[in-house]
Structure 1
Amino acid sequence: MPDDSPLLQSLRTAVAAAPADVPLRLHLAELLLDAGRSQDAVAEVAVALQHAPGDARARDLMARAMGVPGQPPAPRPGFDWKAAEQQVGDVVPPRFVEAPARADGQDDPGGADAFDVERPGTVRLADVGGMQDVKDRLEAAFLAPLRNPELRKLYGKSLRGGLLLYGPPGCGKTFIARAVAGELGAAFLSVSVNDVLDMWIGNSERNMHEVFQTARRQAPCVVFLDELDALGAKRSRTAHSGMRNTVNQLLTELDGIDAAANEGVFVLAATNVPWDVDNALRRPGRLDRTILVLPPDGPAREAILRYHLRDRPIENVDLGKLVKVTDGLSGADLAHLCEAAAERALLDSARTGTVRLIGMKDLLAAAKDVVPSAEPWFASARNVAMFANEGGMYDDLVAYLKKRRKL
């Protein structure tokens, strides 16, 4: 860089003493520009623009320094989106090309008609470990009449109504529903509150209707209403009219469950809190059959533990002993126990540098740390069993609590 003249040196000293003095800095930049030192002028103008972004003199000096006298710097050419789209068209599919959504939400692609209906699966009740009482009640209340149409006709057994599974979380209600669908050789359509509720007035009811229309088109089909307490909450406690209308729509659909148009449509529902479900949903002809699904018994725990340990490296595992120490754990608790035991062995192998198998020591230690997740549910259910068992609705729950000495 050429040496500064005495004037430029003096101006630089003054600018250094007053760095925020924009006119003084621009005067220095102008002298530098007149001296043919465009780069030095650009540097000084850039600092001036930081202090005064809208200064017209600074912008004009920047344009001159950039080689466009009297005009601002030319803008960069716009990005060629069309050319870029052609370059990546074979890799990235088109996005955001649909027509604008309607203001009333009627063309929402996430509606019930967009649900994926699972084709008949291979899961059967035989795949459900233990729980013989539950299987026997399913057979008597639901499956036997369906398998024997002639006997059903002889005894006047109606298929009207659906089945409600209730009990603590993590005990396999959804798996049992899939097993029932497998026994029937029916498709499976699982529905939750997120699939039905919509922000637009009237769309939630439409979605509920479309759920059943989809099931009718795919018959034989099991409609599984997950978390029924959210889909069918007591209307007396519901302040929002839209939610009440959704429950009304569900009642309408259930009322037609034995109509000709609904032939081959079977309704199952699950909830952890049946006492929060609208009483009208449990009226005869709707979800009038109720089955309590409890934490797995001994044979069920053995089957669940065997399933979760089948692909893990184990040695000398005494399943009988493990079944005894896991009494009261839910299916989800047992899965977590196996995961925790595997984690203990993995971390130990990582620390020592020697791979070892999962043993009883790991499993028993994990079982000791697992807190039964069903206990809070039983604490709430105990009050219901004691003070809200009108008509014997929860007699099976009362019997279980007495057997476990929780009542």
Structure 2
Amino acid sequence: MSGAVGGAGAAARAIAAIDAARIAADTCELIGGRGENPGETEAETVRRLRAACERIGATVELQELAPGRPNLHAAIGPEDGPAVLFLGHSDVVPAGEGWSADAFAARRVAGVRGEAIVGRGAADMKGGLAAVLAAMAAVHGEAPGIRLELLCTVDEEDRSQGVRAWLAEHPPRDYLACIVAEPTDLEIVIGCRGATNLAVDVVGASAHAGRPADGASSISAAARIVELVRGLHDRAVAGPADPLLGTPTWNVGTIAGGSGTSMVPRATSLTIDRRTMPGEDPGRILDALLGLARADIAASGIAGAERIEVRGRVDMVMPGFRADDAAAVVGIAADALRRLGAAVAITGWTAACEGGFIAEHHGAPTIILGPGDINAQAHQPDERVELADLVTAARAYALIALGLAASSPATPADRGLPQTIAAGGTAHD
């Protein structure tokens, strides 16, 4: 996989325009906006992000999902120019315990390779947003004919209501690619599993605990569903694995039921996480689970089994996606990282992100590429990101945008693009 990253002179100037101090300052500013989800709103982070977007000359549109919860869309460059979309989110997981200082008072500390920034959201993903802003400003300064957009959603860390609301009001359009700035440790992620939350309600019949046979225990039935899910998980992970994405997984996340120790429990509820492969239908997954659960309970010998109902619903869906290995954005991203002296790894993610919504709605080739480590840094006490990685990410984003525009046959030479980029350019100085 290979691809040009744009004209050498323009690329070099864009790289030179990216200011590490500005990225660090923006990252710290956005961390201070908080936005714990659940528990708070994203309003202050979005206010700060809007100011930064307007500082670089972007036009900003807000869409309020709920009071204090606005999606943000920023765009720079002509509406009909070749367009690159960056995707991020403004919320963070709750700070939790174990921090050595205030989680939202960003600190600049000694890192592995120079300086690091510590604070909730440093890696996931206030630092990624700051890197995107720096790249958008640098590319626009060199190639104002390229359309650069940032969609920053609310509620990514919980139910992804923000991205669904945005896409519901904005029809599909052509993008050269979508780059999700989630923390991948600067690996190029070309696919990820989806996430589906299933809610299952078990309803039996209450009775006095001294005569349990008079009732129908919803907890006993729910316990069988827990074991059923465990078996489904074991079979899934023992089955064929996608080389990048692995296998589907199942997990019972919560269970709640009963009214008192001396009563046969009438109602019990479970929530189940099912990690899906691209193309799987959550509705069919739920229907299959409910069918298996009903048959198992009916044959179980539980007192009153014939009186037990099992109902369910799909509570949340985050679709997975898989980009074509030969997509231009994949080769261009790899060339960009090589040019910057970074290691190149093209891989998949077992986590989930909102890139699947964009791939599904717009049909855009989508990758995830960002600073920070999702496993070792994100969602941890003293969450941090290396400043060197933020700068590399910003430079890579700039080179990718220039390269995508250069590779597009629809890019005219009079769009404000340097002639070397409009003609295709080369991958190296």
Higher helix share: 1
| Structure whose CA Rg is larger | 1
Task: Identify the structure with bigger relative contact order (alpha carbons < 8 Å, sequence gap 6+).
Answer: 2
Higher strand share: 2
- Scaled to the shorter chain, the TM-score interval is under 0.3
Q: Give TM-score, length-normalised by structure 1.
A: 0.24
Q: Give TM-score, length-normalised by structure 2.
A: 0.23
